[in-house]
Structures are given as structure tokens and as C-alpha cells.
């Protein structure tokens, strides 16, 4: 009898414990949940500080940018329907099917918190599945969908798309340098994000994330994201990280971890190059195949991790630089792409040519000011002159009659570089960086004027906005 009573007690406790834990989450007051959080706006950017256990940090994130999540999601639903032919429900279902069993509990709680924070701020109709699909839409639209769709046309067979207007190819221009390459031996790192102007106007959130466990992170991303998908990170363990996407990559493993989990985990728990590589190369799903440029400010070493689905390659040095322009370099990873390495007019080859020329020009003198010049550069090797095009480090597809064929961008497509970031190891040690919203140069994209000149893109009219070029400004963690 006593044994039966003990067993009944244990079973009851096992059932009630998780309920009690969730009840504890729900019983925390708004003041308790928001304690320590902060939001400010500066030079086109939104800056938020969030901290605490996973649920609390998520709640703060959702609450502080709820209105921005609502607007950005509306645009994304419109965009992916046009680009892929699928409704948002397809993305929700795909996220649930793939990630329900493998999503770490830590991040499940954080997403739950984001959803509750959004609701508490007065925005309804957004749940955790919206947020999973939102954080993983790149995985789903450009990598997962081609593996489940029937390829119908020659272009679809060549590029591996399914219904897409363009294949995986969001681009960036970046470098990381150290030792003899820089003015005083410190690491210097910079990056600019390229994508569609239609939705990238919402990619203007800097997050100072102070999780209960692991390292503090400062990164940029869409509102409601947990990992900063715009390719620039600093953590309190001394890592400086940026990346550029590999063009025309194909391959996907639906049983592996989504890219946003691996990225977040690597920045939260790694404090050296080896551990970063170890986390990033475990359970790889192939999405967001990138060249990762990594620096360890404690040692001065930098590395380039070229990561595909089946293969990866690592370069490391204490003296020199690595550039990123959206093309795989290692023979192993190149096999996983359909990139044409003989097309010297492609944006990836043109920008790599110019990036190397630029780095050699300033070798030994590279610093943050030179990094800013890099991100504003308009020399196009394919034209052999200075001109704003899709083939310059500061990208302007909207001004290029060639468009950007490798990414499926038609002539004058409204896309290109939308921001720039730069830092060095001395600034990064203080968790500080320079950032510029808009093009790296001073060019303003005015939607009304653009659509008047290019009515073929009137389908974007409901959501296309101006992309104003703001001055460089600094951000750092909240003390």
C-alpha cells in the first residue's frame, strides 16, 4: 500500500512540476519580466537591451519590438507568397514538422517568451510557430523548399529552385584582417548586408543580449529574431564574427538543426575559434551556407570557415586577411554549388577582385576608417571604372541594367546593400562597434521615384519604402 502511495505521489509530482514552472512564468509581473530591459532609437536604428532567463529575455524582446514584428511579418508574408507561391501557413507547418523535436528547450522557452511579450504589447495573432518560421524563413524558402518541390523548368533544375523568383543568393561584402595587415596589429572586421529593399527596411534592430547562461552578444537582426541574421556578431568571450553567403548553393538536411539555432548557440557558448567551428559544423542542415570570418581578440588569430552541407574548409592566420563576396573557394564546397567560375562579370567574382585589390592597396594600414571606405567603394572591375552597380562593394542592383542574374534579380531590381558595420579588437573588447543604416555611401533610395521610373516593380508598391542613408554611429552594450 505504501509503495502504491509513493508511486502515485511521484507520478503526480512529475505531472504538476512543469505546470507549476509555467505557472511561475505566468505569475511574474510585467515589472519583473521587463526589469533591466531598454530600447532606444538612433540614426535609423532601433537598439534594445534584453537579459535574463530564456523566457524573460524572449518576453523583453517581443515586448520592445512588437509593432515592428507585426509590420515586418506582414511584409514577409507578402514577399514569400510572391517569391515561392506558398502561403505563410506552409512555412509554419514546415517549421513545426522539422523542428518541434530538435529545437533546444532553451530556445523554445525564449520563443514562448517573445510570443507572450508581443501579445502583452497589444499585438495579437502571432504565436511561437510564426516566430520559428520567421527566424528560419531563409532555411525554408531557399533551401528546404527546393528539396520537397517538383523541379519543372530548366532554370529550376540548374539552380535547384521551386517556384522561386530567385535562388539562394543574398549577398554581402566583408573582410577580417589582423597582424601585419592592419595599422597596429589589431583585428579589424567589417561587413555590409545585401538583400531586397522590400523587407530589409525592417532589418534595423541591434540587440544587446545578456542571457542567463553563456556569453553576452551584440548583434543586428530582424525584430523578433533570436540570433541576428544580418551577419555581424561580437560576444563577451572575445569572438568577432561576420559572414557572407555562398551563391547558388544547393543541398539540405531536414533532420538537422536550423541555421538560427547553430548560429545563436555558437555565439552564446563559444569563446575561441575551435569551439565556434565545432558548434557550427555539428548537425548542419545546409541552409545559409556561408563563409564565416572569425576573429579571437584574445589571441589576434583570424579564420575563415567555409561551410556547406557535406563539406567544410578552414583557413587560419595571425597575419593577413580574408574577404567575403559570396563565392565558395575550397574545391570541396565548390562541388555543392552551381556557380559559374568562368563568369568574370558575376557580382561575386567582380567584388572579390575589387576586395583583394582594395586590401592590398591598404595592406599594413587597415583600420576602422579604411573599413568604412571599403563599404562605400564603387569601383566595378567588370566595367573598369567607378560606377554604382550590382558588382561594387557598395551594391546598387536598382541602378544596374544587368540586374543580378546569379540571384534571379531582373534588371534594376530594388535590392543591394542596406547597411554596413565595422569594428576592431579594441572596440570589440568593450562590446562596441560602428554601424551605418542605408548604403555604405550616401545614396538614398526613394521608393516613389524608383517606381515611377520602373513600373515593372509596382507589385511591391504596397510595402516598398525609402532606404535613407544615415551617418555612421556607434553602439555598445548597456553598462
pLDDT digits (tens, 9 = 90+) for 42-70: 999 999 999 999 999 999 999 999 999 99
Q: For 26-35, 120-129, 373-382, 390-399, which range has the lowest pLDDT when averaged over its residues?
A: 26-35
Q: Are 397 and 405 in contact (CB under 8 A)?
A: no
Residue 24 has pLDDT above 80, yes or no: no
**CA-based nearest residue to 304, from 4, 313, 419:** 313
Cβ atoms of 285 and 143 within 8 Å: the answer is: yes
3-class SS at 45?
A: strand
Which residue carries 543541398 as its cell? 251
Confidence category of residue 165, pLDDT binned at 50, 70, 90: very low
- Rounded to 10°, the helix 273-280/259-269 angle is 160
- Backbone phi and psi for residue 21, each to the nearest 5 degrees, phi listed first: -65, -45
C-alpha atoms less than 13 angstroms from C-alpha of 272 in its C-beta half-sphere: 4
What integer is the mean pLDDT of 459-464? 97
Q: How much is the mean pLDDT over the chain?
A: 91
Query: What fold characterizes domain 41-476?
Result: Penicillin V Acylase; Chain A (3.60.60)
How far is it, in rounded angstroms, from Cα 404 to Cα 402?
6
Give the count of alpha carbons within 13 A of 478, CB side only: 15
Averaged over 127-133, what is the pLDDT? 98
Residue 164 above 50 pLDDT? no
Q: Which of 19-28, 100-109, 306-315, 344-353 has the lowest mean pLDDT?
A: 19-28
Is a pLDDT exceeding 70 seen at residue 284?
yes
pLDDT, tens digit, 9 for 90 and up, residues 103-113: 999 999 999 99
For residue 34, pLDDT over 80 is answered with yes
**Scanning the structure block, which residue is given the C-alpha cell 515593372?**
456
Mean predicted confidence (pLDDT) in 456-462: 96
Alpha-carbon gap, residue 358 to 338, rounded angstroms: 27
Taking residues 98-122, report their average pLDDT.
Answer: 98
pTM for the whole thing? 0.91
Residue 148: its pLDDT value, please? 73
Q: What is the mean pLDDT of residues 181-207?
A: 96
- Report pLDDT for 12: 52
Domain boundaries, the chain: 41-476
Q: Are strands 239-245 and 38-42 parallel, antiparallel or unpaired?
A: unpaired
Number of H helices, E strands in the chain: 18, 17
Cα separation, 113 vs 403, in Å, equals 41
Residue 51, beta-bridge partner list: 210
The pLDDT of residue 316 is: 98
Q: How confident is the model at residue 158 (pLDDT cuts 50, 70, 90)?
A: very low
405 pLDDT higher than 90:
no
State the DSSP H helix or E strand holding residue 196, giving kind and residue range, or none if neither: strand 185-196
Residue 415's alpha-carbon distances to 64, 87, 158, 365, 398, in angstroms, are: 28, 23, 23, 32, 6
Integer Cα distance of 141 and 80 in angstroms: 7
Q: Which H or E element spans position 421?
A: strand 415-424
DSSP letters along 383-414, please? TTEE--STTSSS-BGGG-TT-BGGGTBPTT-S
Amino acid at each position: 500500500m505504501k509503495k502504491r502511495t509513493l508511486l502515485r505521489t511521484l507520478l503526480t509530482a512529475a505531472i504538476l512540476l512543469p505546470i507549476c514552472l509555467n505557472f511561475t512564468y505566468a505569475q511574474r509581473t510585467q515589472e519583473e519580466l521587463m526589469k533591466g530591459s531598454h530600447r532606444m532609437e538612433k540614426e535609423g536604428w532601433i537598439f534594445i537591451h534584453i537579459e535574463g532567463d530564456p523566457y524573460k529575455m524572449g518576453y523583453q524582446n517581443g515586448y520592445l519590438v512588437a509593432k515592428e514584428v507585426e509590420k515586418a511579418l506582414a511584409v514577409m508574408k507578402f514577399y514569400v507568397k510572391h517569391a515561392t507561391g506558398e502561403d505563410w501557413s506552409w512555412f509554419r507547418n514546415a517549421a513545426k514538422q522539422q523542428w518541434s523535436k530538435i529545437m533546444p528547450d532553451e530556445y523554445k522557452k525564449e520563443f514562448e517568451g517573445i510570443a507572450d511579450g508581443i501579445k502583452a504589447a497589444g499585438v495579437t495573432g502571432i504565436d511561437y510557430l510564426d516566430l520559428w518560421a520567421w527566424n528560419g524563413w531563409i532555411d525554408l524558402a531557399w533551401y528546404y523548399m527546393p528539396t520537397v518541390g517538383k523541379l519543372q523548368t530548366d532554370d529550376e533544375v540548374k539552380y535547384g529552385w521551386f517556384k522561386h523568383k530567385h535562388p539562394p543568393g543574398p549577398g554581402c561584402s566583408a573582410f577580417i584582417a589582423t597582424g601585419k595587415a592592419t595599422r597596429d596589429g589589431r583585428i579589424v572586421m567589417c561587413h555590409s548586408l545585401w538583400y531586397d529593399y522590400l523587407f530589409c527596411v525592417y532589418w534595423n534592430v541591434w540587440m544587446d543580449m545578456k542571457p542567463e547562461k553563456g556569453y553576452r552578444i551584440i548583434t543586428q537582426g530582424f525584430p523578433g529574431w533570436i540570433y541576428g541574421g544580418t551577419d555581424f556578431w561580437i560576444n563577451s568571450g572575445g569572438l568577432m564574427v561576420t559572414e557572407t553567403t555562398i551563391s547558388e548553393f544547393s543541398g539540405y538536411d531536414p533532420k538537422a538543426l536550423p541555421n538560427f539555432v547553430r548560429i545563436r548557440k555558437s555565439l552564446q557558448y563559444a569563446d575561441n575559434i575551435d569551439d565556434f567551428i565545432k558548434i557550427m559544423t555539428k548537425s548542419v542542415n545546409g541552409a545559409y551556407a556561408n563563409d564565416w570570418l572569425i576573429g579571437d581578440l584574445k589571441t589576434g588569430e583570424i579564420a575563415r570557415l567555409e561551410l556547406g552541407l557535406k563539406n567544410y574548409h578552414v583557413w587560419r592566420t595571425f597575419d593577413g586577411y580574408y574577404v567575403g563576396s559570396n563565392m565558395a573557394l575550397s574545391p570541396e564546397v565548390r562541388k555543392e554549388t552551381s556557380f559559374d567560375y568562368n563568369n568574370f562579370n558575376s557580382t561575386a567574382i567582380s567584388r572579390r577582385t575589387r576586395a583583394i585589390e582594395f586590401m592590398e592597396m591598404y595592406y599594413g594600414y587597415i583600420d576602422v576608417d579604411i573599413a568604412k571606405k571599403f563599404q562605400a567603394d564603387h569601383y566595378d572591375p567588370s566595367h573598369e571604372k567607378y560606377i554604382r552597380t550590382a558588382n561594387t562593394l557598395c551594391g546598387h542592383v536598382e541602378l544596374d541594367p544587368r540586374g543580378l542574374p546569379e540571384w534571379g534579380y531582373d534588371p534594376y531590381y530594388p535590392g543591394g546593400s542596406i547597411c554596413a558595420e565595422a569594428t576592431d579588437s579594441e572596440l570589440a573588447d568593450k562590446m562596441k562597434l560602428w554601424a551605418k543604416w542605408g548604403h555604405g555611401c550616401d545614396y538614398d533610395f526613394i521608393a516613389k521615384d524608383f517606381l515611377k521610373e520602373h513600373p515593372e516593380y509596382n507589385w511591391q508598391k504596397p510595402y516598398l519604402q525609402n532606404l535613407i542613408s544615415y551617418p555612421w554611429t556607434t553602439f555598445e552594450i548597456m553598462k
